Amino acid sequence: MSSDPRTLVEAPVRSALAGVMGRGIALAGVVGALALVPMLAHPETAVRDGVAIAVVLVLFGYVVAVHAARLGRPRLPEEARERAWERAKEIDRDEAAVGLVVTGWVPVALFLAMGLLLWPHLTDPNPALAAAWTVLGLPPMAMAWMVATTTWLDACRDDLARAELEADLRFRSYWANVGR
């Protein structure tokens, strides 16, 4: 580890930014890959239905995992959550900008992937199947997207706020022990 105190203090925030970007790319990548399966493999309707259900389960699984991880952690101060991205920009403007772009594009990528999955169902030549997907398939997919998107944005902000609190503790610890 570097002996430079600035590197030591900034490390949690840089790590949180890298984590946000990695998790965002992974989440969008998994859902995007699942959405492409029916297009590339031209599977029959049953497989297409299964893939659509799998995407909903992946998104709800993500939400459950994030909320389960939060259970063991103390609630963050609201002020720390509100300033999370601003403080990240103070440490590394470029990396924070890329992290913010990834954070913003994940909901868009999830929306597009779900649109790719839903389009064949909603435009099915059989009007009964198209109506069934409109009534029974669209609501769970929309709910999964909304809940996953909200959870994603909150988790990104919480991760950065938590890292910034850690960086603040490191900063205070360093200055409390200078010269000792």
Give the model confidence (pLDDT) of 57-73 as tens digits: 999 999 999 999 999 88
Question: Residue 117 is inside which H or E element, if any?
Answer: helix 93-122
Q: Which residues contact 134 (CB under 8 A, 6 or more apart)?
A: 122
Report phi then psi at 18, rounded to 5. -65, -40
Compute the distance between CA of residue 81 and CA of residue 87 in angstroms, rounded to an integer: 10
Tokens, residue 108: 């868009």
* Average pLDDT score over residue span 17-45: 88
Q: So what's the pLDDT on residue 180?
A: 61
DSSP 3: S
Q: What is the DSSP letter of 134?
A: I
Query: For residues 51 and 45, what is the distance between their CA atoms, to the nearest angstrom?
Result: 10
Mean pLDDT, to the nearest integer, of 18-41? 91
Amino acid 118: pLDDT: 87
pLDDT of residue 6: 78
pLDDT of residue 127: 87
Q: What's the CA gap between 153 and 10, in Å, rounded?
A: 22
Mean pLDDT, rounded, for 87-103: 93
Mean pLDDT of all residues belonging to the chain: 88
The rounded percent of the chain whose pLDDT value lies above 70 is: 94
CA distance 140 to 148: 12
Tell me the pTM: 0.85
